[in-house]
Chain A
Amino acid sequence: MATTLDEPVTRRDFIHIAATAFVGVGAAAALWPLIDQMNPDQSALSLASVEIDLAPVQTGQAITVMWRGKPIFVRNRTPEEIKAARDVPLDQLKDPVARIMGVNVEAPATDENITKNGHENWLIAIGICTHLGCIPKGQKTGDDRGEFGGWFCPCHGSVYDTAARIRKGPAPRNLEIPPYTFTSDTKIKIG
């Protein structure tokens, strides 16, 4: 509704603007359910945590479990692997930040920050290459683990070390660490 200068603002102008604004807000509000229905639903959210029994995993062995449809690498590291991860100076890392889900404070990617205190042998990481989402090799015996003894992504050649940190190749970040807690000495709960 165009109001020229010689015409005074009328009640009708106000009603037009108010009605249009009301319809606009209503349309935007009606849009939200249509957008939000695509977000992860309640059944997906209810599967958001799993418990894992670590007792059968011997030193040097690794298992893969599913959490939220993603593979989780669980590795019981040997003392040599732990030492290799701890001896790396931070300035040799491609990504110096520990990528822990749900933690927004940027902690340095030291092995101490990536693993849990008192359970240093356990490395828990999301087994999805941070490049384009492939699953790196290195969980099965006989797999190519790459030159740093961790994981090797066959898609585009990213190499991870024994603390799941990116050391070589196109991936930009270290493997993500899921939120988990030790519920007992041999059990963890992810999520």
Chain B
Amino acid sequence: MAHQSTYEPTNGFTRWMDSRLPVIRFAYDTILDFPTPRNLNYMWTFGGILAFCLGVQIVTGIVLAMHYAANTAVAFDSIEHLMRDVNYGWLMRYTHAVGASMFFLAVYLHIFRGLYYGSYKAPREVLWIIGVLIFLAMMATAFMGYSLVWGQMSFWAVTVITNLFSSLDTVIPGLGTMLVEWIWGGFSVNNATLNRLFSLHYLLPFVIAGLVGLHIWALHVPGNNNPTGVDLRDPAKETVPFHPYYTTKDLFAVTVFGVLFAYFVFYLPNYLGHPDNYVEANPLQTPPHIVPEWYLLPFYAILRSIPSKLGGVIAMFGAIAVLFFIPWLDTSRVRSTRYRPIYKWFFWLLVITCLGLGFIGAKPPEGGYVIMGQIFTAYYFLHFLVVMPVVGIIETPKARPRSVADSIFGEGGGGHTGAGRVNQPAAAAAEKR
């Protein structure tokens, strides 16, 4: 919640600063003192984990750009040079490559957390929409970064994905071709294409960082949702200051996540990649199987499930576009799926569908896989366009706790706060109001 600032400058310099540019106050209010529901579970640590991931990608990315050459003649070799000759180049590159996968793993868990606990519902619609924009920017960034390797998979992924725009030729003849040649800067994927992908790959992370700033701003106006989905009533009893409670918890979660991260970097650095990308790009030979990185597979599966080329492109972009409308498609009064006995089953069906789409996206589009892909695609859209509005109306939700305090301390026990459990500044802040 947007809360009253409790920051008090303690010395001459901070007082002087506070009346000129109150950045210390801003940092104190948002990072240290921000009242955070005390019942958040570990699914709420992915925000911190994602901030960590973005930081890792930016730092390793800046280092990689010092050694990488975005020219088709030398790009592939410059990466081998980086791997073999540059001090710790291998570590930087593997961390960056594995980091992309870890970033998506965390973002998918973060998104499904939001879906399960209804974090997209009023008053957090704008927060959710900014989140979807970040997800879009992440996919674009990851795709462009993958192309820079200039291996066979890089080259053909760029060819296939940019060719999607040529499907516009069926709407206005020539429009798609014109657009694709503009994207390529030529008549096929070439040096000009690689250069602009590099330029944009360097730009987009900073766009993401800006969006993250807005995302946090939009979070701090209504405040955190919580596992009960019930609005806070008594911040003194129901919240703790972000520091030290959630800084410590998030750091612990980042450390555990870091173990998984490090396991992949040091033991399975190429496990999530594709061996074909260790073959230099060859415009005259298509690899037998073109597959994107694992985190884009569900969308690739949707693309291929629709038998028409333009239809496939529309469905793929529609699969992301539909996310923007979720706050208004969900008609339920209840945020948290905990108290939604019918929707609960559909939620897990959606999870299975997304995993299923990921599985299908990695398979060749033949026989049974096509049918399965079409069934999953159908359910993906039905979930948002039909299940969400209809179940919200017909379902009788289970009894929710009257307040977050009740869910923590038990019914009627809300008065007990226990010495040292409620932080003084937060309690004082609540009393001031």
Q: How far is the CA of A155 from the CA of B153 in the complex (A)?
A: 13
Q: How far is the CA of A66 from the CA of B186 in the complex (A)?
A: 14
Closest residue of chain B to A44 (Cβ to Cβ) is B186
8 A Cβ contacts from B258-302 to A? 283-286, 288-290
Is A92 in the interface zone, CB < 8 Å from B?
Answer: no
**A69/B288 in contact, CB under 8 A:** no
Is A38 in the interface zone, CB < 8 Å from B?
Answer: yes
Q: How far is the CA of A40 from the CA of B196 in the complex (A)?
A: 12
**A40/B187 in contact, CB under 8 A:** yes
Is B12 in the interface zone, CB < 8 Å from A?
Answer: no
> Closest CB-CB distance, B73 to chain A, in whole Å?
14
Q: How far is the CA of A134 from the CA of B307 in the complex (A)?
A: 17
**A135/B286 in contact, CB under 8 A:** yes
> Closest CB-CB distance, B158 to chain A, in whole Å?
10
**B290/A155 in contact, CB under 8 A:** yes
**B284/A68 in contact, CB under 8 A:** no
Is B308 in the interface zone, CB < 8 Å from A?
Answer: yes
Closest residue of chain A to B188 (Cβ to Cβ) is A69
Q: Contacting B365 at CB < 8 Å: which of A40, A71, A154, A156? A: A156
Is A179 in the interface zone, CB < 8 Å from B?
Answer: no
Are A135 and B284 CB-contacts (below 8 A) given A170-B307, A172-B308? Answer: yes
**A40/B284 in contact, CB under 8 A:** no
**A172/B309 in contact, CB under 8 A:** yes
Question: Number of A residues whose C-beta is below 8 Å from B?
Answer: 25
Is B185 in the interface zone, CB < 8 Å from A?
Answer: yes
Is A116 in the interface zone, CB < 8 Å from B?
Answer: no
- Residues of chain A within 8 A of B189, CB atoms compared: 69
Are A71 and B182 CB-contacts (below 8 A) given A38-B196, A41-B192, A132-B163? Answer: no
Closest residue of chain A to B290 (Cβ to Cβ) is A155
**B185/A71 in contact, CB under 8 A:** no
- Residues of chain A within 8 A of B164, CB atoms compared: 132
8 A Cβ contacts from B133-188 to A? 156, 159-160, 163-164, 170, 173, 181-188
**B186/A155 in contact, CB under 8 A:** no
**B186/A71 in contact, CB under 8 A:** no
> Closest CB-CB distance, B303 to chain A, in whole Å?
9
**B188/A70 in contact, CB under 8 A:** yes
Are A131 and B186 CB-contacts (below 8 A) given A40-B181, A71-B283, A71-B284? Answer: no
Q: How far is the CA of A41 from the CA of B97 in the complex (A)?
A: 32
Is B366 in the interface zone, CB < 8 Å from A?
Answer: yes
Closest residue of chain A to B162 (Cβ to Cβ) is A133
Total A-B residue contacts, Cβ distance less than 8 Å: 74
8 A Cβ contacts from A155-191 to B? 155-157, 170, 172
**B163/A133 in contact, CB under 8 A:** yes
Q: How far is the CA of A40 from the CA of B181 in the complex (A)?
A: 7
Give the interface centre of A38, A104, A157 by most chain B CB atoms within 10 Å. A38
Give the interface centre of B183, B187, B289, B290 by most chain A CB atoms within 10 Å. B187
Closest residue of chain B to A134 (Cβ to Cβ) is B286
> Closest CB-CB distance, A138 to chain B, in whole Å?
13
Q: Mark A4-45, 1 if CB is under 8 A from B, else 0.
A: 000000000000000000000000000000010011110010
- Residues of chain B within 8 A of A66, CB atoms compared: 283-284
Are A44 and B185 CB-contacts (below 8 A) given A38-B196, A154-B286, A170-B307? Answer: yes
Q: Mark A60-97, 1 if CB is under 8 A from B, else 0.
A: 00001010111100000000000000000000000000
- Residues of chain A within 8 A of B160, CB atoms compared: 132-134
Q: How far is the CA of A70 from the CA of B170 in the complex (A)?
A: 22
> Closest CB-CB distance, B19 to chain A, in whole Å?
37
**A44/B286 in contact, CB under 8 A:** no
**A44/B192 in contact, CB under 8 A:** yes
- Residues of chain B within 8 A of A41, CB atoms compared: 185-186, 192
Q: Contacting A70 at CB < 8 Å: which of B182, B183, B187? A: B187
**B187/A44 in contact, CB under 8 A:** yes
**A131/B159 in contact, CB under 8 A:** no
**B159/A133 in contact, CB under 8 A:** yes
Is B39 in the interface zone, CB < 8 Å from A?
Answer: no
- Residues of chain A within 8 A of B187, CB atoms compared: 40, 44, 48, 68-70
**A134/B290 in contact, CB under 8 A:** yes
Is B71 in the interface zone, CB < 8 Å from A?
Answer: no
Are A134 and B156 CB-contacts (below 8 A) given A39-B185, A64-B284, A68-B186? Answer: yes
**A155/B192 in contact, CB under 8 A:** no
- Residues of chain A within 8 A of B186, CB atoms compared: 40-41, 44, 68-69
Are A69 and B283 CB-contacts (below 8 A) given A41-B185, A44-B187, A156-B365? Answer: yes
The 10 closest A-B CB pairs, nearest first, are A69-B188, A68-B187, A134-B286, A133-B163, A132-B160, A44-B186, A133-B159, A135-B286, A40-B186, A70-B188
Q: List 12 A-B contacts (CB under 8 A).
A: A40-B181, A41-B185, A48-B187, A69-B186, A104-B173, A133-B159, A134-B160, A157-B365, A170-B307, A170-B309, A170-B365, A172-B170
Contacts A41-B192, A69-B189 supplied; 20 other A-B pairs, CB < 8 Å: A38-B183, A39-B181, A39-B182, A40-B187, A40-B192, A41-B185, A69-B187, A69-B188, A71-B283, A104-B173, A132-B160, A132-B290, A133-B160, A134-B160, A154-B286, A155-B286, A155-B289, A157-B365, A170-B365, A172-B308
